[in-house]
Structure 1
């Protein structure tokens, strides 16, 4: 069987496997929507091609969006940079290294207007991945459309607005869970009243999957989150059918082909049941509509063109599962930001599936399959059982607060990595079928310093030309609504953005009531090592660490850091857990540290090695700044870097003093061996 599957499989399925399986006579477009939310599905209209994209400044992204629409994209999905996600203006000193790198920088309504210049927002559906700074960013979108003559009533699209998954896995939150839930539900209430064609929330399982959750955990947490949101909004006086009508969902399509199809089919059944249990009665309210994206976690840096095949098969799983829209990843995304050729190929992959391969000719072609129907029913049963387990924790927010959710996801990530490192799960070109041509070079660069300089100049001119008193009054009103709970937060943010307040200023107005919030990080002991017990290579590196300990009289020590605004911590936590299991002493620093703060944090801990996990492209600025700050504090520990580091950057980092660089596909036993070598070169007894 596929050892990444959530549920065990057998090689042969027969009619006996259908015994007790409900809904075998279900029809598409009818409750519980197992076979699709529309009777005709893709035979009537193919899924929306909605490629997630954005980088540099608004003008550069606008050009990319217009080209994509001309080339066959049928919707837009906006990627914002990390400072925007975290509610900072581009001229804030703490975010200089991240501006424009992992998405587009948006500081004001003028930026939003440039982003959509020449794009008919009343005809093009726009999805925006934004949860933490949803108030000012969504407000800027609404005001930009308004000033282009398009009323909010005519806008179509989706705002992600799913803050609970940020606390679970993605970590681009700003405020603590309770005020964050207030923000999210105020957005839903505003959309219900003013934007009938807009989805008020896209509840994301994708990020749970990418952080290490299997399909059952992905579905259970996503549906538990959805239930919590619906309850909160309905308790505030909204009507349940109206709330459920304007929700959508976002799932991953990963390497477990059959399991992913079954997951998406089961998701519709489970949501129909859940919505009905919450009081929904309208068919539209019980229909789960979804966007899917192929899995970034399955992309490899070694033999990277193989990712074309992986992405194509994952896209087919999403289509066979009945998605309403789809993003296909660029083959080079494990190396760098996707290049133009890779992005074009990713989009063309969907066009080929739609127009050349016949995938749109039959509604739910897997219906009646012994395997698929049995697997769908078993997936649904497993998800119901896991939701009951979440309820036993006191509900999803209590499960987040206790760390139960994060631990489950982290253990899944460690298990997957251990099986790949041990060769139990084959990844072609990585742990099997290697060749001398396994390494590729990144293909796309963004000059973040130039983007930031442009954004800083635009912010300066915006502040010089606006009515300062009007801005001050609008921001004070936003603070008052946050403090008193009287009024709608999105309505207040729209007024502030209309007055030319910036994203960062709106966030600062909320910070007067709700301080920024940061959760502690940890790596689960034995989460990795238990899955490699008895493996020869793993036992050998553990013996090497034990020998180092005997010779030194102590364990080798490493601190693990995340620099800048990148909250993705799957890699950092798995590596930290594996090192601890191997015999290292490991401590993980908090999220969102500047290089200076990280150096001070490291200086307080006598360590043999300082490790930096980087995924968002800011390493060329952040890592050298860290090394300089460490030297200024007399910290001599060598710095190593792991994650997505294009080969063209590696020599520059080593010239700055980086001792070792580990690509995303490096096995953990290899990392342990190399770290021991680094530690041995600088080995001195610690005080």
Structure 2
């Protein structure tokens, strides 16, 4: 046998006979003695897991579908050298209290080895309310940092070198405002916007499916995403204006196939909206980025990341006619799965997170957040975040897994699972196309229903013990001691400090100028072909508050009310 004839018909026929003989002899004898633990084995997404994989399972995969790293369709990674050139970005999410509180956490984590910031915002900021609005009562700075004005954004990144540290901003309905504030703050400090690095989440379609944080109806919300993408393509060329997010689809019950298919369908919708204004896909697609979860099903998750890159590359090339490799290259941030963390025996969350992080590395992530062991209780403590960083550092610097690009490439099992996963994603994308695309599928509640049904089935399996959760339905310790750490505290003085700055800004600004800009924003909002980002930049630089900007658009577009899904 030469090294080239492994998939020749005669060779495959010999392999088939060898496999059949093995089943009839060694396997049959073993099963006769003790059997197996269950009748069927499947991944969390329902893909059958074979007992063993051989060359026969990858014989039908076109070699070009596997390819090489940095080569279309990017199955083996978006870049040729991957972690041999530099490791993934360590990006631990932070956000609580006022801007100064979160800034201090940034600096603590950077000192511990974090290489990029990531920010959670509080509920009023997410929902477009200023901190003194009645709807903000009790929520200011509780689940993230409170941002009302440009002054808050300046304080948030005080002392952070934005030419060295990239910033990830986890926000959606008000993403266009937070982006404008971040750019304006950087410009005030003398930074060139074209050199700024980072990502804003901005993916509003997944909000209607999963996270349920929205302000405006679906279509004007998608317009805001479009406007941000197109503005950033011209003014902040190194910045990712959207992180199209499957993480939240998984968190509300979607399986791995749903996560990837829904995410790519969202990307298709955003691309289509941008192209309606005459933009070529190659003008903006290179800066689109993605955000996935890494769950517990180790090999399925690795196959998921590899298949996602392949599907996306094919869609961008074949559907949209992209010519640049940068347009077809899916770049992804990965977070370990918060929903897998447990209060019972919470220390073992460290092991869960480490295994999930390893799968993300073997799958080829570009940046990663590892969860704190105490996140099942509240916002993670500083100690938990340092341990999460150390988890990534051990993988990057002690294990040598960064030395080989796509080390599981060529694995019979991983390649077979990758191709099966790809086929399932394309099948679901066709279903979404048949419904009229992602926007119509969201408006009809189709995706929401799928996630709800899958979540219900998962909980039934867990209750029956078919899905093991250590410490919850197996190896339970009835007399477990209470948690021996102090959870992250909430500073009751947060609101007072936040309102002091908000009131000062309102008193010192040119309010008449702010109102004039907001009136102009309302007019622009009525013409869907105009881009709202330039006037948004004017508004934040004039010290309009986030709530005032959202109120101006609420007066034009109204608000979204979800239809119940049964």
Question: 2:116 is matched with which residue?
Answer: 75
Of residues 335, 341, 349, the one that matches 1:299 is 341
SS in 2 for 1:225: helix
> 1:6 touches 1:215 (CA, 8 Å); kept in 2?
no
Deviations 1:635-681 (A, max 9, x none): xxxxxxxxxxxxxxxxxxxxxxxxxxxxxxxxxxxxxxxxxxxxxxx
Match of 2:173 in 1: 132
Hey, what does 2:134 align to over in structure 1? 93
- Cα deviation for residue 298 of structure 1 reads 0.6
Change (3 A) 1:387 1:441: farther
**Contact residue 135 and residue 183 of structure 1 kept, 8 A:** yes
Q: Structure 1 CA distance, aligned partners of 2:94 and 2:287?
A: 24
- Superimposed CA distance per residue, residues 266-308 of structure 1 (whole angstroms, 9 cap, x where no aligned partner): 0110111011021101111110000000011111111111111
The answer for the alignment partner of 2:310 in structure 1 is: 269
Tell me if 1:494 matches 2:537: yes
Tell me, what secondary structure is at the counterpart of 2:380? coil
Could you tell me which of 410, 418, 428 is aligned with 1:386? 428
TM-score, normalised relative to structure 1: 0.75
Matches within 5 A, 1:431-446: 431-435=473-477, 436-437=479-480, 439-440=482-483, 443-446=486-489
CA distance in 1, matches of 2:437, 2:529: 27
Residue 471 (str. 1) matches residue 514 (str. 2): yes
Per-residue deviation, 1:65: 0.4
Change (3 A) 1:521 1:453: farther
Residue 252 of structure 1 aligns to a residue in which SS? strand
What is the CA–CA distance in structure 2 between the aligned matches of 1:318 and 1:135, rounded to whole Å?
Answer: 29
> Could you give the per-residue CA deviations for residues 113-143 of structure 1, whole angstroms, max 9, x where no partner exists?
0000000112211111111011221111111
Query: Does residue 240 in structure 1 map to residue 281 in structure 2?
Result: yes
Question: How many Å separate the matches in 2 of 1:81 and 1:514?
Answer: 24
The counterpart of 1:419, out of the listed 461, 468, 473, is 461
Matches within 5 A, 1:160-179: 160-179=201-220
Once the two structures are superposed, what CA deviation does each residue of 1:455-490 show, in whole Å capped at 9, x if it has no partner?
112111111111111111111121121123464211
Aligned mates of 1:371, 1:508 — CA distance in 2: 53
Work out the CA distance in 1 between the residues paired with 2:498 and 2:54: 62
Alignment match of 2:80 (pick from 39, 57, 66): 39
Matches within 5 A, 1:217-616: 217-277=258-318, 278-435=320-477, 436-437=479-480, 439-440=482-483, 443-447=486-490, 449-485=492-528, 487-522=530-565, 524=566
* Pairing 1:104-143 to 2, within 5 Å after superposition: 104-143=145-184
Counterpart of 2:89?
Answer: 48
Q: Is the 8 A contact 1:56 1:446 kept in 2?
A: no
Return the TM-score normalized by structure 2.
Answer: 0.90
Q: How far 1:407 sits from its partner (Å)? A: 0.5
SS of the residue corresponding to residue 60 of structure 1 reads helix
For structure 1, which runs of at least 5 residues remain unmatched after alignment?
525-687
Instruction: Give unpaired runs (5+ residues) of structure 2.
Output: 1-40
The answer as to whether partners of 2:295 and 2:336 remain within 8 angstroms in 1 is: yes
Q: Which has the higher contact order (CA 8 A, sep 6+)?
A: 2
CA distance in 2, matches of 1:357, 1:12: 27
Alpha-carbon shift at residue 45 of structure 1 (Å):
0.9
1:285-337 alpha-carbon deviations (Å, 9 max, x no partner): 11000000001111111111111111100001110000000000001111111
Q: CA deviation at 1:232?
A: 0.7
> Could you give the per-residue CA deviations for residues 131-164 of structure 1, whole angstroms, max 9, x where no partner exists?
1011221111111111111121121111111111
Residue 234 of structure 1 and its aligned partner are, at CA, apart by 1.0
Q: CA deviation at 1:379?
A: 0.2
C-alpha separation in 1, matches of 2:500 and 2:290? 38
- Deviates most, 483-492 or 373-382: 483-492
Task: Determine if contact 2:380/2:488 at 8 Å carries over to the other structure.
Answer: no
Equivalent-residue separation in structure 1 for 2:417 and 2:81 (angstroms): 24
In structure 2, the CA distance between the partners of 1:181 and 1:470, relative to structure 1 (3 Å rule), is same
Whole-angstrom CA distance in 2 between matches of 1:215 and 1:96? 37
Q: State the 1:169 CA deviation.
A: 0.7
User: Of 19, 27, 35, which aligns to 2:59?
Assistant: 19
Following the alignment from structure 2 to structure 1, what is the Cα–Cα distance between the partners of residues 482 and 469? 15
How many residue pairs get matched?
A: 523
What root-mean-square deviation, in Å, do the aligned CA atoms of Structure 1 and Structure 2 show? Answer: 1.4
Q: Indicate yes or no: 2:41 matched with 1:6.
A: no
Q: Using the alignment, how far apart are the partners of 1:171 and 1:3 within structure 2?
A: 28
CA–CA separation in structure 2 for the residues paired with 1:124 and 1:339: 22
Q: Is the 8 A contact 1:5 1:256 kept in 2?
A: no
Aligned mates of 1:484, 1:184 — CA distance in 2: 15
Q: Deviations over 1:469-512 (max 9, x none)?
A: 11111111211211234642111111001001111111111111
Cα distance in 2, alignment partners of residues 110 and 501 from structure 1: 11
**Per-residue CA distance 1:222-266 (angstroms, 9 max, x = gap):** 011101111110111111112211101110100111000000000
CA separation in 2, counterparts of 1:319 and 1:92? 43
Measure, in 1, the Cα distance between the counterparts of 2:43 and 2:97: 39
Deviations 1:199-244, CA, capped at 9 Å, x for gaps? 1211001110111111111111001110111111011111111221
Contact 1:57-1:104 within 8 A present in 2 as well: yes
- Is the 1:332–1:443 Cα contact (8 Å) retained in structure 2? no
Cα distance between partner residues in 2 of 1:20 and 1:371: 14
SS in 2 for 1:97: coil
> Is contact 1:82-1:98 (8 Å) kept?
yes
Q: Alpha carbons of 1:466 and 1:74: their partners in 2 closer, same or farther (altered >3 Å)?
A: same
Q: Which of 229, 245, 254 does residue 204 from structure 1 map onto?
A: 245
- Cα distance 1:455–1:505, how it changes in 2: closer, same or farther (>3 A)? same
**Deviation per residue, 1:79-124 (Å, 9 max, x gap):** 1111111111111111212111111111110000000000011221
Deviation at 1:396, TM superposition (A): 1.2
The 2-side partners of 1:493 and 1:230 are apart by 22
Give 1:21 deviation, angstroms. Answer: 1.5
Q: Which runs of 4+ in 1 moved over 6 A?
A: none
